[in-house]
């Protein structure tokens, strides 16, 4: 039974746009968890600039009034007696967009009960004297805490001039209830009579490695000893610095031809789903034996999809980008030496032919999720931080 606790009020400020971002998901997970525990919560969403190649000028013109309205609401929240959680983007524009209310609070010397949360890792490439670092320090002055998702990020924050006492490491989480050990073992033993089910689930950004994944599945079609059912799940997102395709139409055309070619093999089946959410997304993870994320995304932090894979008893195949190495290890996943289609295909084949190793990695990953990343533990941590923050001014 839920009840409202006096003084337990939190406002969540974060960007929300055309596509679901990790920052938005992380903010909403915390908000939903606190609300279920009796906190009074509200959200102020800041409109995001559509930075994909297919953006239109009308969107730029419409953004101004929407931003102004969101900033006014954010200032009201900072002046209230509740706690304010600000999800901070990390491009120059995003720092000003998301941090505008805190910059104003700093100038006005407001004593705000605010916490800034960073989920990407673009700041890992900043220098102390960069424009971005200077803006971040000003934003942080108006906040009591700044949260990051890993030890490397915490160290970098201190190097950028954020006082160590302000920087808090808080792991991400996901909403999935972890599968049972028996279910995990049973899933990985069913390849004795059926195909290996392989999943890629993320936005289809070139730097997330989806082209390499698709080509790897195509490579597996040449192996007569490896039955595979592969799912590519995610919406197409093109950025201006993409190099393989000139438009989303080209991406779609390429995917259709690659899927047709891969499915020409009698042993391989590849399908594309343009996004899955809620129960549909959870079902994809529950069914998959192996989750592949061959990312080289330059601002990768701690992908929620990896945590969802761990919770679902999948064997994780990924890279050492961002905070992924502090999230999984060689005891709980497989790191790719490179993200070539041939390497990915070989790793998948090795996992198929070594079910004991695949099951062991999946079970270790499941234990890791329960001990460190479960949703309840995550909300416990956030409730502890926000309660401490609220109580300091009581």
Domains in the chain and their CATH numbers? 9-173+374-391 (3.40.50.2000), 181-373 (3.40.50.2000)
Q: What is the pLDDT of residue 240?
A: 65
Q: What is the pLDDT of residue 7?
A: 55
Alpha-carbon gap, residue 143 to 141, rounded angstroms: 6
Q: What is the pLDDT of residue 119?
A: 83
Q: What is the pLDDT of residue 65?
A: 86
Q: What is the pLDDT of residue 159?
A: 97
Q: What is the pLDDT of residue 239?
A: 74
Model confidence, pTM? 0.86
Alpha-carbon gap, residue 365 to 78, rounded angstroms: 40
Q: What is the pLDDT of residue 390?
A: 76
Backbone dihedral angles phi then psi of residue 116, each to the nearest 5 degrees? -105, 135
Q: What is the pLDDT of residue 110?
A: 78
Alpha-carbon gap, residue 197 to 84, rounded angstroms: 42
* Whole-Å CA distances, 233 to 97, 114, 170, 365: 30, 36, 28, 22
81 by Cβ neighbours in 10 Å (0-12 / 13-18 / 19+) ranks as exposed
Q: What is the pLDDT of residue 44?
A: 93
Quote the DSSP letter at residue 191.
G
Q: What is the pLDDT of residue 243?
A: 79
**pLDDT in single tens digits along all 394 residues of the chain:** 333 344 589 999 998 887 777 788 889 999 999 999 999 999 999 888 765 545 555 556 777 888 889 889 999 988 888 899 999 988 888 899 899 999 998 888 877 889 999 988 889 999 999 999 999 999 999 999 999 999 999 999 999 999 999 999 999 999 899 999 999 999 999 888 889 999 999 999 999 999 999 999 999 988 777 899 999 999 998 776 677 888 889 999 999 999 999 999 999 999 999 989 899 999 999 999 999 999 998 888 899 999 999 999 999 999 999 999 999 999 999 999 999 999 999 999 999 999 999 999 999 999 999 999 999 999 999 999 999 887 765 5
Q: What is the pLDDT of residue 300?
A: 87
């Amino acid at each position: 039974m839920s009840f409202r606790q006096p003084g337990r009020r939190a406002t969540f400020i974060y960007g929300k746009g055309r596509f679901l971002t990790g920052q938005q998901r992380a903010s909403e997970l915390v908000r939903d968890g606190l609300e279920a525990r009796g906190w009074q919560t509200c959200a102020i969403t800041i409109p995001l600039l559509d930075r994909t190649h297919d953006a239109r000028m009308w969107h730029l013109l419409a953004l101004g009034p929407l931003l102004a309205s969101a900033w006014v609401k954010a200032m009201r929240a900072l002046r209230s007696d509740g706690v304010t959680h600000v999800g901070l983007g990390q491009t120059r524009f995003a720092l000003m967009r998301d941090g505008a209310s805190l910059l104003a609070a700093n100038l006005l010397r407001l004593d705000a009960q605010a916490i800034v949360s960073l989920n990407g890792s673009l700041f890992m490439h900043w220098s102390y004297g960069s424009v971005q670092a200077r803006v971040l320090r000003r934003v942080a002055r108006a906040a009591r805490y700044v949260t990051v998702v890993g030890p490397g990020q915490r160290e970098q924050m201190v190097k950028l001039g954020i006082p160590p006492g302000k920087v808090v490491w808080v792991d991400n989480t996901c909403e999935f209830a972890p599968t049972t050990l028996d279910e995990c073992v049973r899933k990985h033993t069913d390849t004795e009579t059926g195909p290996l089910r392989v999943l890629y689930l993320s936005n289809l950004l070139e730097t997330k490695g989806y082209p390499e994944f698709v080509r790897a599945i195509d490579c597996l079609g040449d192996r007569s000893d490896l039955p595979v059912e592969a799912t590519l799940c995610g919406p197409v997102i093109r950025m201006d610095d993409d190099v393989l395709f000139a438009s989303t139409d080209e991406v779609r055309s390429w995917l259709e031809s690659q899927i047709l070619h891969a499915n020409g093999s009698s042993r391989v089946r590849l399908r594309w789903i343009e996004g899955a959410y809620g129960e549909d997304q959870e079902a994809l993870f529950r069914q998959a034996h192996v989750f592949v994320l061959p990312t080289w995304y330059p601002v990768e932090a701690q992908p929620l999809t990896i945590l969802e894979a761990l919770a679902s008893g999948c064997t994780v195949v990924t890279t050492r980008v961002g905070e992924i190495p502090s999230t999984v290890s060689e005891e709980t996943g497989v790191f790719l030496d490179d993200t070539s289609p041939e390497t990915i295909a070989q790793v998948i084949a090795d996992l198929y032919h070594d079910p004991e190793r695949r099951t062991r990695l999946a079970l270790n990953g499941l234990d890791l999720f329960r001990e460190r990343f479960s949703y309840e533990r995550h909300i416990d941590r956030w409730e502890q931080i926000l309660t401490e923050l609220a109580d300091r001014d009581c």
